Amino acid sequence: MGSLKKNGGAILSRIATNDHHGENSEYFDGWKSYDKDPFHHSRNPCGIIQMGLAENQLCLELIEGWIKDNPKASICTPEGVGQFGDIAIFQDYHGLKEFRQAIAHFMGKARGGRVTFDPERIVMSGGATGANETIMFCLADPGDVFLVPSPYYAAFDRDLRWRTGVEIIPVHCYSSNSFKLTVEAVEWAYKKAQESNKKVKGLILTNPSNPLGTMLDKDTLKNLVRFVTRKNIHLVVDEIYAGTVFAGENFVSVAEVVNNVDSYEVNVDLIHIVYSLSKDMGLPGFRVGIIYSYNDLVVSCARKMSSFGLVSSQTQLMLASMLSDDRFVEIFLTENSRRLKIRHEDYTSGLKKAGITCLTSNAGLFVWMDLRHLLRDRNSFESEIELWHIIIDKVKLNVSPGSSFHCTEPGWFRACFANMDDDTLHAALRRIQAFVSKNHKIVENSSDSDQIVQSNNVKKQKWKQSNLRLSFRRLYEDGLSSPGIMSPRSPLLRT
């Protein structure tokens, strides 16, 4: 036994022992820190508040209400137990017909009814995680490359690469144009990949974007469809946040674009959609992932692979009934959008009081915070991680640094706002406001008076910002233990 423990790695596979899972990043480290010290209003008011999890809990009581009103939808109730025998036995991995019909119908509803989906092209998977991996298995061989606009979802490194052997090449986007993706940037990344003798098999997008909370406009999507058709590479669009749009223009699905582009400009066999009920419905625990492909061979292959990650028949049965209820779906989508808008405005306005701005966004369950002015060195990712350690270890908030999302510019952070109640959100805002406010005062109190009383306001502001960055470094190194420094826990003592 001793030798097995000592040399256990030698008997495991390369997949089991490689580091492509991506777990060794601040994105996952923040979750681990939260798990060790989770915030609770009464049991642990000084714990870490989870703002690193893109989970939608704002409308769960609507679903609970529907379940209570429709007990026949579940085989776990006296009213629905009569269906137990039919549901408990083996089901084909095509999925229940009524489930595929309901999912296709809901996908159209979540996209404003501007596009319809064919139930025969619906393939099930274990959440969007499983769907993204399955589509990679279908489209690419180990060593093949997919282009992915950055910043991109931190767990793509796991979902797309870990077991498939597929490589990712980022398409870098920048704050100078609000991180907007351009076809020119995709062209450049494609060219560079080819120059490195990489076989590019496709482009994968998240639309709406995670972590940005922004949407691609119809013209950009059309140009991307034309681009992949010219290059004969695949386009995979992860539309998991399609139903979380809360302001601005309507969401444009790639399915809508495909239907409105001249046939000679689009090869539909190259277009694929990934979807899930995890974000729009707030049901990540149900593990409902969907692959929708216009390619018959991909549908067939993905369906065979789906046997490794099927949605349980019990879950299919209940969701088929719920998603077929048009009145409920319309009420839910409208209310979900309304609550997300209120929560987004509540959080961003609270950040403004602390002098923190965010990228303008209108979808998703998070904001892309600009904390560059708080870095010791604006050009240093080391400074970003230092600030992240302060925020999680001292301010006790789990937010995710931009480097986890492969952002090319230090100082951007993703913060999720829909996975908590109002009181917890306000507690988080008080911590942020108190921390930033107190550190401004520390700078003034500990500074040389001749520097503080400068008549030139511009010079004064530059001095304060510079010393604020330095004070954050000192706070982290000192562990917030100085007598004159307020603990970030104290705001919660008043809640």
The answer to whether residue 138 is domain-embedded is yes
165 and 246 housed in the same domain:
yes
Contacts of 225 (CB under 8 A, 6+ apart): 235, 254, 257, 258, 261, 265, 266, 271
Residues forming a β-bridge with 149: 171
In angstroms, rounded to a whole number, what is the distance separating the alpha carbons of residues 215 and 254?
12
- For residue 422, the model assigns a pLDDT of 95
Question: Does the annotation count 5 as an active-site position?
Answer: no
pLDDT above 70: residue 456? no
Active site residue 153: yes
Of 297, 325, 353, the residue that ends a domain is 325
Q: Give the pLDDT band (50/70/90) at residue 389.
A: very high
Q: What are 117-131's pLDDT values in tens digits? A: 999 999 999 889 999
Q: Are 329 and 154 in contact (CB under 8 A)?
A: no
Q: Which residues pair with 401 in a beta bridge?
A: 413
Same domain as 74, residue 37: no
Say if residue 40 is in the same domain as residue 74: no
- The Cα 259–Cα 262 span in angstroms is 8
Q: Is 317 inside a domain boundary? A: yes
Give the model's pLDDT for residue 302.
93
Same domain, 146 and 278: yes
Q: What is the pLDDT of residue 328?
A: 95
Task: Indicate which residue of 27, 153, 292, 476 is catalytic.
Answer: 153
Q: Is 390 a catalytic residue?
A: no
Q: What is the CATH number of the domain that holds 386?
A: 3.90.1150
Residues 93 and 24 in one domain: no
> Model confidence over 183-197: pLDDT tens digits?
999 999 999 999 999
User: Do 86 and 25 fall into the same domain?
Assistant: no
Question: What is the rounded average pLDDT of the residues 34-47?
Answer: 94
Residue 8 lies in a domain: no
Across 1-159, the runs of DSSP E, i.e. the strands, are 49-50, 122-126, 145-150
The rounded mean pLDDT for the chain is 85
Tell me the C-alpha to C-alpha distance, in Å, between residue 298 and each of 96, 265, 329, 358, 402.
20, 21, 30, 39, 34
- Are 82 and 44 members of one domain? no
pLDDT of residue 72: 85
The question of whether 240 is a catalytic residue gets the answer yes
- Are 36 and 99 part of one and the same domain? no
The answer to whether 417 and 485 are in contact (CB under 8 A) is: no
Catalytic residue among 49, 75, 240, 290: 240
| Alpha-carbon gap, residue 113 to 105, rounded angstroms | 9
Could you say which of 157, 238, 280, 370 is catalytic?
238
Is 2 within a domain?
no
Q: Does residue 454 carry a pLDDT above 90? A: no
Least confident of 285-289, 334-338, 367-371: 285-289
Residue range(s) defining the domain that contains residue 25:
17-50+371-494
pLDDT in tens, 213-269: 999 999 999 999 999 999 999 999 999 999 999 998 899 999 999 988 777 789 999
pLDDT of 470 strictly over 50: no
Residue 3 pLDDT exceeds 90: no
More confident residue, 411 or 448: 411
Task: Scan for tokens 């000679």, then name that residue.
Answer: 264
Q: Crossing angle of helices 60-69/313-323, nearest 10°? A: 90
pLDDT of 461 above 50: no
Token output for 483: 């007598």
pTM of the model: 0.85
pLDDT for 467: 41
Q: Which of 325, 354, 383 lies at the terminal end of a domain, its last residue?
A: 325
Total number of domains constituting the chain: 2
Given the residues 279, 394, 396, 438, select the one marked as catalytic. 279
| pLDDT for position 147 | 98
Q: 475 vs 14, which has greater pLDDT?
A: 14
Indicate if the pLDDT at residue 388 is higher than 50: yes
What per-residue confidence (pLDDT) applies to 306? 86
382 in the same domain as 258: no
CATH number of the structural domain spanning residue 213: 3.40.640.10
220/299 same-domain check: yes
Statement to judge: residues 184 and 77 lie in one domain: yes
Residues 273 and 411 in one domain: no
Is the model's pLDDT at 450 over the cut of 90? no
- Is residue 360, in this structure, part of any structural domain at all? no
